[in-house]
Amino acid sequence: MTMQPLILLAGLLALGVDGSQPSAPKPVAAPMRELPWGQLNFLATTDTHGWLGGHLQESQYSADWGDYISFTEHMRADADRRGVDLLVVDTGDRVDGNGLYDGSAPKGLYTNNILQRQDIDILCSGNHELYKIPTSEREYNETVAAFPEQYIASNIDILHPTTGQRVPLSRRYRQFKTKNQGIHVLAFGFLFDFTGNAHNTFVQRVEDTVKEPWFQQAIREHVDIFVVIGHVPPHSPEYQAVFSAIRSQNWDTPIQFFSGHSHVRDFAKLDDKAYALQSGRYMETVGWMSVDGIKIGGKEVDAERGMKFQRRYIDNNLFGYHHHTGLNASTFPTERGMNASLAIASARKSMKLDKVFGCAPQDFWVNRTPYPSPTSIFSLLVDSILPDILTPTDPPSKPRIAIFNTGGLRFDIFKGTFTKDTTYLISPFDNSFRVIRDVPWEAAKKVLPLINAGGHVFAADSGSLEEWRLAPPQQMGVQSDTVAEETATHSSRGGAQMPLGGGREDEVPLIPGYTTSDDGGKDGDDTAHAPLSFYRVPNVVESRMGFPTDVGVPEPEAVDVVFVDFVEPWILLALRFAGRGYEKGDVQEWEGGRGFTSMLVEWVAERWGKGDGEGGC
């Protein structure tokens, strides 16, 4: 007997029943659509934001990075059997937004190593890797160093951590031939025209990068396919610029784009031979792409076939992974995958991410219910949390308003345990509150409507104040203000195992989840779901405190304007528009500049607490 089965068995016992994290809910059976294979196939992740442990309160997305590694190993073996090729890509924003990343000091102590256990063929940076100097330095020191061939930075430079010299973050492009068919690939890796980075990195506008001599030379290479990955949304001026530049030299070569940043599932047709796929966010989705009819070395492989681009959005759970590989709980986990799952479990344990602060009495949603409403997380914030945590310690308290950007609460709160992990999911940022005192009410009351009118009002004046940074990123990808689907039901999320019916989709009770409509139609999701509703929320919300409540009492003359520090530039701009010029010097810390996240933890413990810090709800 070899050691390997023993190690696997030990792993299975330490983890959940079949991989995943110990506390992950069991995946739910649902009607599935198959993965279409082509000559060249891709698995693509984006905007994982540290969610390598999967979703521990949503069974639909409960597989972890280790399960994804096992899945990839099986799919690569399948590609070998079929004589086709499979490439694995990731388009950035791997940091910020989950306790597994944010809970360590320094941040990312565990995640970089776990990430590197996946065999990735092409990866690039997102904007979140560049907000802070230590984050981008660690990206350079660790992730670029681990993937020197695979990491592409077509438009990013960094000041070298030791020499201080400005150098490319990584290589500008990559050429290689695929393993089984020798398909000649040329790959680029872009970041959108981002301006919010720290001063140790440099992002060249994509529209300028495509004019660089190295890029102009690269697109003149005779290759079988261009693969353009980027932290760039599918429908974007940046990708239009890359597309036009490549097409000006290659009218006929297929181009496969991979996207990121706007946190939604999306697929865009640029022309008959150029498509872009974006795989959602937070390890909810693994994108599958297959390209067929590629001419290898100019030779048509199968003239009958013609070119075909097909996509699938895989829900990240073991039910689907078993289905797509034809394996089961005992045959699916690989040693490498199991190792990664164990590393995640041990990191979660050492950071005590399962520590319970309280019990949420109900669900509170970011975009699934309208604001204001009793189930909106922003109504909870404005009506309950802010008035509690922003009551000054020294009364009497003056009338005051508090302004909070909706993008500052990153995720839903689910009924049940509110853990240390939950805290990072909801509020991964180190934000604190600031105040401008005694602002005339005539000006203060215009701040909210001005910031929410956003783009139109500030366009000329706001310079690099990018409005998208205020609201939840997933709103970027949603055009309409109206409700996507009124018919959604929310009740059956979570552990409830549903039996798979007689095989006909219309007989099976569907679990709510993504029902994507994109340039390829409505059949992209690998799992048939009942639709979820999506409501746009404003850029910022406002809480009013200490206002006269009696009818007939006039509005206050002046108020204190309290705000989360992130929105300070917008507050100053809005007040200027409202006719009151304030300077940075007029802004003070609120109550010693305590962090919002720790105030939230205290609030949860006080309002929803159970006292013992252990156990379930």
Ligand X SMILES: *[C@@H]1O[C@H](CO)[C@@H](O)[C@H](O)[C@H]1NC(C)=O
Q: Which residues bind ligand X (CB under 6 A)?
A: 134, 137-138, 141, 161-162, 328-331, 335-336, 339
Cβ atoms of 411 and 366 within 8 Å: the answer is yes
Strand pairing partners for 291? Answer: 40, 309
Of 195 and 346, CB closest to ligand X: 346
Segments in 15-110 forming alpha helices (H)? 65-82, 99-102
What is the token pair recorded at 441?
């009410």
For 532, what's the count of Cα atoms within 13 Å in the CB-facing half-sphere?
18
In terms of CB distance, is 143 or 376 closer to ligand X? 143
- For the bound state, the minimum distance from the C-beta of residue 167 to ligand X, rounded and expressed in Å, comes to 13
- The CB-of-509 to ligand X minimum distance in angstroms stands at 24
Q: Least distance (Å) from ligand X to the CB of residue 148?
A: 15
CB of 113 to ligand X, least distance (A): 11
Burial class (CB in 10 A: 0-12, 13-18, 19+), 131: middle
Shortest reach from residue 345's CB to ligand X, in Å = 13
Q: What is the DSSP letter of 139?
A: I
Amino acid letter for position 336: R
DSSP 581: -
Contact 111, 50 (CB under 8 A): yes
Q: Is 479 helix (H, G, I), strand (E, B) or coil?
A: coil
Which CB atom, from 141 or from 379, has the smaller least distance to ligand X?
Answer: 141
Q: Which is nearer to ligand X, 4 or 491 (CB)?
A: 4
The distance of closest approach from Cβ of residue 68 to ligand X in the complex, given in angstroms and rounded to an integer, is 15
> Both tokens of residue 285?
């989705």
Choose between 161 and 569: whose C-beta lies nearer to ligand X: 161
CA 209 to each of CA 152, 256, 270, 520: distance values in angstroms, whole numbers, following the listed order: 14, 19, 20, 30
Nearer to ligand X, 85 or 137 (CB): 137
Q: How far is the CB of 342 from ligand X (least distance, A)?
A: 8
Instruction: Give the shortest CB-333-to-ligand X separation in angstroms.
Output: 12
Q: Where are the beta strands (DSSP E) in 171-307?
A: 173-177, 184-191, 201-203, 225-231, 255-259, 265-271, 274-279, 285-292
| CA–CA distances in Å: residue 82 to residues 180, 312, 575 | 9, 19, 63
Work out the end-to-end distance of the chain between its first and last CA atoms, rounded to an integer number of angstroms.
44
Residue among 22, 20, 16, 31 nearest 498 (CA): 31
Complex with ligand X: residue 112 or 543, whichever CB lies closer:
112
Q: Are 209 and 156 in contact (CB under 8 A)?
A: no
**Residue whose CB is less far from ligand X, 138 or 348:** 138
Q: Please name every residue paired with 589 in a beta bridge, in sequence order, or none if there are none.
A: 434
The smaller minimum CB distance to ligand X, of residues 8 and 478, is found at 8
Query: Residue 202 or 577: which CB sits closer to ligand X?
Result: 202
For residue 48, give both structure tokens. 């994982």
- Beta carbon nearer to ligand X, 126 or 358: 126
- Going by C-alpha positions, the residue among 284, 260, 262, 279 that lies closest to residue 512 is 284
Min dist. Cβ of residue 508 to ligand X (A): 22
Query: Is 7 or 359 the residue whose CB approaches ligand X more closely?
Result: 7
Q: Report, in Å, the least distance between residue 448 CB and ligand X.
A: 39
Judged on CB neighbours under 10 Å (0-12, 13-18, 19+), 561 is buried
Least Å distance, CB 331 to ligand X, is: 5
How far apart are CB 160 and ligand X at their closest, in Å? 9
DSSP secondary structure of 172-206: SEEEEE-TTT--EEEEEEEE-S-----TTEEE--H
Cα separation, 404 vs 564, whole angstroms:
6
Q: Order the strands of the 255-259 sheet from edge to edge.
A: 173-177, 184-191, 225-231, 255-259, 274-279, 265-271
119 versus 271: smaller Cβ distance to ligand X: 119
Least CB distance to ligand X at residue 16 (A): 14
